[in-house]
C-alpha cells in the first residue's frame, strides 16, 4: 500500500513513539540490589538510580500532553510517601512531572530547530519531611527530528556569465541550498539538485549544485541571456521530501567570433573642389555583430590614386571610418579619385581564425565637382621697393592673377583701401601695375603692406586677394639735431678748459653705412671768449670754458650756437643752440643756485619763506573781507522791498518767551479786548496781503461769530505786525466776548421800553445824530423807520 505524504509523517511519529516506550526500562529508575557498605572514618552509599537519555518527537500535533518518560526510585514503596520534583530548562513550562508516579509529559509542541535538547534535574523527596531520599541527578531530553524544513537558497536569485561558444561542461556558477533539519538523523537534511528550466542548454550537478553548459556553440548574437530554475530537494530526492527553488540568470558574454563586413562592395561620393583641407568627405562603416573591444576596428587606405590626397581615421565612439582631405582639390587638375579601403578587427581571437579573415575590403570613388573659383595670383606675396624721393606716378611693380576655371574670365584689379587709408598707391585695373599716388616719407612709414583684389569680369563676386609689401628706400632728407634738450651749467668758480657739457646728435634718416656727424661753432660764436667746442670724432662733442670769473650778477645765461653736419649725399646741416646757466656751486662743483634774483633777496630769507609769508597775508585779507561782508549783512534792515518777495526766505528768531508769567513782554489787554485800537504797522519780513485803513465796527451778533471775527482780526494784525513771532507760531488769546454778567455800566441804556431816560433831544443835534435818535427815540414810529 502506497502511503501519502501526511500518512508517512504520522507513521514516522508513531514509530518514534514506540521506540521511546520500548526503551522505558533503560530510562526508569532501577533499584540497586547491592547492600550499603561501610568504610572506616566515613560511610558511602551507592547510588540507587541510573539515568539514560529521554527522547521526544518534535512537532507533536496531538491534543493531550506527550508522554516523555517515567522517574522511579526503589525507595518508593508505592504508598505515596515519596514525591518527585523536576527543575531545569523548561521545567513546569514545557515539561511537567506527576509527583506521585514520576511520569514526565511535554505540554507544548517542540521544535528541534529552535532547541535540540533540554537539560533537567530530578529529585525524590520524602513527602512528610520534604527531605531528599535520593541525591539530585541531571538528565537530558533530546528532541527527535522530523523532516519539517524545506531546503532554502540563501544567496538566490543568482546571476552569472559564461563566454559564448564555450565547450560543453564549462562551469557557470555553483548554487547552494541549506536545510534546517538535523543532518545527523536520517535523510531530512540530505539535499540533491535538479534543473527545472533551462534545458537543454545547461545542466546541474545533483550533489554539488554546479551549473554547467550542456550545448556547444551557444551564440550570443542569436540569444544572449537564459533564465534557469534550479530545485533543491531533501530526503535524497525521494518522494515525500521537501524542496525549494531559485532562479539563475545566465548571460552569454561576447567573444570576437564575427569578422567585420562592409555592407557594400563600393561607395561613391561627390565633393566640391572648394572644400577646405581637413574637411570630412565621407563616413563608411563595416558591420560587426560583436560588441565592446571585440568590435573595435581600424581603417586604412591600401591602394588607389588618392593616397596622398585623402586619409582615413576611425571614430572611437561609432567605429566609423572618416575620410578627410589632406590637400586642396582642383577640378581642372583631376576630376576623380579611387580608394581601396580595408577594415580589420584590432583584437582577434585565435580560436576563431577558422571562421575566416577578420577584415574586409571596399572601394570608394570620390568625384570632384567644378566650382567657380576666384582669381588666383601668381605669387602669394609680392615684395617691391621704391625711393621716398619718387615722384607721383612712379611705377613700383606689377601683380598678376588669372581665373583658374576653364572659362578663364578676364580679371580686374583694385587696392583694398582698408590697407591703404592714405591712398599712397594706385593700381591699373587691367594691367595690375602699381604706381605712387602721393609723396612718400620713409620716416613716417618705412614699409607699406597693401592688399590687391582681383575680380572676375563675368562674376565680380569671385574675388581673389594678393598681398604686396612695398619697402620705402631712404634718402638724406633730414638734418641732424641734438639728441635731447640739454641744460648745461657753468660754475662761477669754473677754470679755463673745464668740460661743462657733452653733446650728441641724431638723424631721422637711415644711411646704409650709418651716421657720421661733424660738430663746430657757428662763425658768429667761433671767436667768443667764454666757451669753445671740441669734436670728439665719435658723433659727440664737448663744450669747454675759455676763461674763469663767471658772475651771475653780470650775466646769468649764455646761448651757444652749435653747427652740426651729417655725412649724407648731399649732406645736411642744422644749427642748435645750447643754453648755459651760471650757477653758484659747492666745493665739489655741484650747482646750488642758478638764479640771478637770489642776490636781491634779504640775507637769511629764502624763497620758500617769502612764499609762506605771502600766503599768510592773503589768508588774512580773505578773513577781513568775510568779516566785513557778514557785518554788512547783519546791519541790513528787514525793509519790505517791492521788487523781491522774501516770504520764501528762512528767518531765524533766537528770542525766548517768559512763559505764562511773562506779562511784560506783550500787552495782555490787547489780547482780551476785541475793540482795542492798535496802530497798523508793516512787517519788514512779511509781505502783507491785506491792508486795513480803519477798524471794522462790530454789531451785536452771536458769540461764535464774534469769536471767529476776533481770531480773524488778530491773524490779520499778526501778518502786518513787525514784532509778531514768525510763521506757524502758536498765539493764545484770552478773549471772553462782548457780554458781561455785570450788565452794562454805560450811561446809555438799551432800547427797552422801561427806560426812564429821554433821548428825544438827539433829534435836535442834526443829521449826524439822526440814526442815534431813531434808535433811542420814544415814539414807536421812530423805532423801525
Q: Please determine whether the domains at 54-144 and 481-593 fall in the same fold group of CATH.
A: yes
More confident residue, 33 or 203: 203
Q: Give the tens place of pLDDT for each residue, 402-411.
A: 988 878 889 9
Q: Give the tens place of pLDDT for each residue, 244-256.
A: 999 999 999 999 8
Apex 205 CA angle, 201 and 210, nearest 5: 80
Q: Is the pLDDT of residue 351 over 60?
A: yes
Look at residue 774 in the predicted model and tell me its pLDDT: 76
* C-alpha distance from residue 495 to each of 163, 488, 489, 499, 550 (Å): 110, 16, 13, 9, 10
> Do the Cβ atoms of 670 and 676 come closer than 8 Å?
yes
Look at residue 449 in the predicted model and tell me its pLDDT: 95
Alpha helix stretches (DSSP H) within 651-695: 668-672
> Do the Cβ atoms of 735 and 752 come closer than 8 Å?
no
Look at residue 644 in the predicted model and tell me its pLDDT: 47
β-strand partners of 90: none
Look at residue 736 in the predicted model and tell me its pLDDT: 60
Look at residue 100 in the predicted model and tell me its pLDDT: 85
More confident residue, 75 or 724: 75
What are the grid coordinates assigned to 191, written together? 539535499
What percent of the chain has pLDDT above 70? Answer: 77
Q: Is the pLDDT of residue 417 over 90?
A: yes
Least confident of 48-57, 359-368, 447-456: 48-57
- Cβ atoms < 10 Å from Cβ of 505: 22
Look at residue 725 in the predicted model and tell me its pLDDT: 63
Cis peptide upstream of residue 120 (ω within 30 degrees of 0): no
What are the grid coordinates assigned to 534, written together? 671740441
Identify the band that residue 688 occupies on the pLDDT scale cut at 50, 70 and 90.
very low
DSSP-assigned letter for residue 780:
G
Identify the band that residue 731 occupies on the pLDDT scale cut at 50, 70 and 90.
low
Look at residue 5 in the predicted model and tell me its pLDDT: 44
Least confident of 19-23, 161-165, 347-351: 19-23
Sheet holding 54-57, edge to edge: 54-57, 137-144, 117-126, 82-88
Residue 319 region by backbone torsions, left for phi larger than 0, else alpha for psi between -120 and 50, else beta: left
Reported as half-sphere exposure (CB side, CA atoms, 13 A), residue 620 has a value of 6
More confident residue, 784 or 463: 463
The CATH H-level superfamily of 481-593 is Cadherins (2.60.40.60)
Q: Is the pLDDT of residue 48 over 90?
A: no
Identify the band that residue 752 occupies on the pLDDT scale cut at 50, 70 and 90.
very low
What percent of the chain has pLDDT above 90? Answer: 35
What are the grid coordinates assigned to 41, written together? 572514618
Identify the band that residue 735 occupies on the pLDDT scale cut at 50, 70 and 90.
low
Q: Give the tens place of pLDDT for each residue, 599-636.
A: 444 445 567 788 889 999 999 999 999 999 888 776 55
The CATH H-level superfamily of 54-144 is Cadherins (2.60.40.60)
Look at residue 653 in the predicted model and tell me its pLDDT: 54
Q: What is the mean pLDDT of residues 736-754?
A: 52
The residue count for the chain: 785
> Which of 322-351 are b and which e, b meaning 16 or more Cβ less than 10 Å from the residue's Cβ?
bbebeeebebeeeeebebebbbbbeeebee
Q: What is the mean pLDDT of residues 49-69?
A: 73
> Do the Cβ atoms of 140 and 119 come closer than 8 Å?
yes
Give the three-class secondary structure for 204.
strand
Q: Give the tens place of pLDDT for each residue, 547-595.
A: 888 888 888 899 999 999 988 888 889 999 999 999 988 888 788 888 7
> Do the Cβ atoms of 364 and 266 come closer than 8 Å?
yes
Identify the band that residue 423 occupies on the pLDDT scale cut at 50, 70 and 90.
very high
Identify the band that residue 367 occupies on the pLDDT scale cut at 50, 70 and 90.
very high
More confident residue, 399 or 100: 399
Domain formed by 152-253, architecture: Sandwich (2.60)
Look at residue 354 in the predicted model and tell me its pLDDT: 79
Q: Give the tens place of pLDDT for each residue, 301-337.
A: 999 998 889 999 999 999 999 999 999 998 888 999 9
Q: Where are the domains of the chain?
A: 54-144, 152-253, 266-369, 376-473, 481-593
Least confident of 38-47, 161-170, 398-407, 760-769: 38-47
Q: Is the pLDDT of residue 34 over 50?
A: no
Residues in Cβ contact with 310 at an 8 Å cutoff, skipping those fewer than 6 apart: 281, 301, 323, 324, 325, 326, 337, 339, 366
Apex 681 CA angle, 677 and 686, nearest 5: 130
Give the chain's mean pLDDT: 79
Q: Is the pLDDT of residue 434 over 50?
A: yes
Residues in Cβ contact with 456 at an 8 Å cutoff, skipping those fewer than 6 apart: 374, 375, 403, 409, 410, 411, 462
Taking the C-alpha atoms of residue 401 and residue 273, their distance in angstroms, rounded to an integer, is 19
Identify the band that residue 454 occupies on the pLDDT scale cut at 50, 70 and 90.
very high
* Domain 266-369 sits in CATH 3.30.230.10: no
What are the grid coordinates assigned to 268, written together? 561613391
Place of cell 661733424: 518
Identify the CATH number of the domain defined by range 376-473. Answer: 2.60.40.60
Q: Give the tens place of pLDDT for each residue, 460-471.
A: 888 999 999 999
Look at residue 728 in the predicted model and tell me its pLDDT: 61
Q: Is the pLDDT of residue 343 over 90?
A: yes
Identify the band that residue 416 occupies on the pLDDT scale cut at 50, 70 and 90.
very high
Identify the band that residue 14 occupies on the pLDDT scale cut at 50, 70 and 90.
low
> What is the rounded radius of gyration, in angstroms, for the C-alpha atoms of the chain?
69
Amino acid at each position: 500500500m502506497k502511503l501519502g505524504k501526511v500518512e508517512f509523517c504520522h507513521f514516522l511519529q508513531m514509530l518514534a513513539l514506540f521506540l521511546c516506550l520500548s526503551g522505558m526500562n533503560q530510562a526508569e529508575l532501577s533499584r540497586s540490589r547491592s547492600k550499603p557498605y561501610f568504610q572506616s572514618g566515613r560511610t558511602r552509599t551507592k547510588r540507587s538510580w541510573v539515568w539514560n537519555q529521554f527522547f521526544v518527537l518534535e512537532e507533536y500535533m496531538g491534543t493531550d500532553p506527550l508522554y516523555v518518560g517515567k522517574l522511579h526510585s526503589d525507595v518508593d514503596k508505592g504508598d505515596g510517601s515519596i514525591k518527585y520534583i523536576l527543575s531545569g530548562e523548561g521545567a513546569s513550562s514545557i515539561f511537567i512531572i506527576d509527583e506521585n508516579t514520576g511520569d514526565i509529559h511535554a505540554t507544548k509542541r517542540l521544535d528541534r530547530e529552535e532547541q535540540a535538547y533540554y537539560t533537567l534535574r530530578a529529585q525524590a523527596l520524602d513527602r512528610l519531611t520534604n527531605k531528599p531520599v535520593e541525591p539530585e541527578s541531571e538528565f537530558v531530553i533530546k528532541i527527535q527530528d522530523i523532516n519539517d524544513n524545506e531546503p532554502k537558497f540563501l544567496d538566490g536569485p543568482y546571476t552569472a556569465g559564461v563566454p559564448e561558444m564555450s565547450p560543453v561542461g564549462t562551469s557557470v556558477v555553483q548554487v547552494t541550498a541549506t536545510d534546517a533539519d538535523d543532518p545527523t538523523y536520517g535523510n531530512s537534511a540530505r539535499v540533491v539538485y535538479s534543473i527545472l528550466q533551462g534545458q537543454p542548454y545547461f545542466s546541474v550537478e545533483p550533489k554539488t549544485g554546479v551549473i554547467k553548459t550542456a550545448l556547444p556553440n551557444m551564440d550570443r548574437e542569436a540569444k544572449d541571456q537564459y533564465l534557469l530554475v534550479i530545485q533543491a530537494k531533501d530526503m535524497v530526492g525521494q518522494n515525500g521530501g521537501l524542496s525549494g527553488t531559485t532562479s539563475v540568470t545566465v548571460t552569454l558574454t561576447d567573444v570576437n567570433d564575427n569578422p567585420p563586413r562592409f555592407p557594400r562592395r563600393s561607395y561613391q561620393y561627390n565633393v566640391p573642389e572648394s572644400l577646405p583641407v581637413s574637411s570630412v568627405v565621407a563616413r563608411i562603416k563595416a558591420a560587426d555583430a560583436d560588441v565592446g573591444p571585440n568590435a573595435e576596428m581600424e581603417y586604412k587606405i591600401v591602394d588607389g590614386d588618392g593616397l596622398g590626397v585623402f586619409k582615413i581615421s576611425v571614430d572611437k565612439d561609432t567605429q566609423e571610418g572618416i575620410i578627410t582631405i589632406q590637400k586642396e582639390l582642383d577640378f581642372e587638375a583631376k576630376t576623380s579619385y579611387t580608394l581601396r579601403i580595408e577594415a580589420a578587427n584590432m583584437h582577434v581571437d585565435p580560436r576563431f581564425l577558422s571562421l575566416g579573415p577578420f577584415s574586409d575590403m571596399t572601394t570608394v570613388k570620390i568625384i570632384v565637382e567644378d566650382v567657380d573659383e576666384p582669381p588666383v595670383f601668381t605669387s602669394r606675396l609680392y615684395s617691391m621697393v621704391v625711393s621716398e624721393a619718387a615722384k607721383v606716378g612712379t611705377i613700383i611693380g606689377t601683380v598678376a592673377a588669372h581665373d583658374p576655371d576653364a572659362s578663364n574670365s578676364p580679371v580686374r584689379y583694385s587696392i583694398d583701401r582698408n590697407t591703404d587709408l592714405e591712398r599712397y598707391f594706385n593700381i591699373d585695373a587691367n594691367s595690375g601695375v602699381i604706381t605712387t599716388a602721393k609723396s612718400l616719407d620713409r620716416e613716417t612709414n618705412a614699409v607699406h603692406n597693401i592688399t590687391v583684389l582681383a575680380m572676375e569680369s563675368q562674376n565680380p563676386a569671385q574675388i581673389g586677394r594678393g598681398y604686396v609689401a612695398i619697402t620705402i628706400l631712404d634718402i638724406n632728407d633730414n638734418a641732424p639735431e641734438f639728441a635731447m634738450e640739454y641744460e648745461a651749467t657753468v660754475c662761477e668758480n669754473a677754470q679755463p678748459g673745464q668740460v661743462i657739457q657733452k653733446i650728441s646728435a641724431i638723424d631721422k634718416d637711415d644711411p646704409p653705412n650709418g651716421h657720421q656727424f661733424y660738430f663746430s661753432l657757428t662763425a658768429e660764436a667761433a671767436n667768443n671768449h667764454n666757451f669753445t667746442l671740441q669734436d670728439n670724432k665719435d658723433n659727440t662733442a664737448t663744450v669747454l670754458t675759455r676763461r674763469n670769473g663767471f658772475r651771475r650778477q653780470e650775466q646769468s645765461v649764455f646761448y651757444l650756437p652749435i653747427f652740426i653736419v651729417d655725412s649724407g649725399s648731399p649732406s645736411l646741416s642744422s644749427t642748435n643752440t645750447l643754453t648755459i646757466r651760471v650757477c653758484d656751486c659747492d666745493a665739489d662743483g655741484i650747482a646750488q643756485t642758478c638764479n640771478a634774483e637770489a642776490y636781491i633777496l634779504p640775507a637769511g630769507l629764502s624763497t620758500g619763506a617769502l612764499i609762506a609769508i605771502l600766503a599768510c597775508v592773503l589768508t588774512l585779507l580773505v578773513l577781513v573781507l568775510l568779516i566785513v561782508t557778514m557785518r554788512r549783512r547783519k546791519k541790513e534792515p528787514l525793509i519790505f522791498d517791492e521788487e523781491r518777495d522774501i516770504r520764501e526766505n528762512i528767518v531765524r528768531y533766537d528770542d525766548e518767551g517768559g512763559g505764562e508769567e511773562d506779562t511784560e513782554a506783550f500787552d495782555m489787554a490787547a489780547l482780551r479786548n476785541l475793540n482795542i485800537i492798535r496802530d497798523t504797522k508793516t512787517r519788514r519780513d512779511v509781505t502783507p496781503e491785506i491792508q486795513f485803513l480803519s477798524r471794522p465796527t462790530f454789531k451785536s451778533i452771536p458769540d461764535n461769530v464774534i469769536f471767529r471775527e476776533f481770531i480773524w482780526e488778530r491773524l490779520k494784525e499778526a501778518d502786518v505786525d513787525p514784532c509778531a513771532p514768525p510763521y506757524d507760531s502758536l498765539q493764545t488769546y484770552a478773549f471772553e466776548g462782548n457780554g458781561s454778567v455785570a450788565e452794562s455800566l454805560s450811561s446809555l441804556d438799551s432800547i427797552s421800553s422801561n427806560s426812564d431816560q429821554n433821548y428825544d433831544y438827539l433829534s435836535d443835534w442834526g443829521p449826524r445824530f439822526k440814526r442815534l435818535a431813531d434808535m433811542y427815540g420814544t415814539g414807536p414810529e421812530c423805532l423801525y423807520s
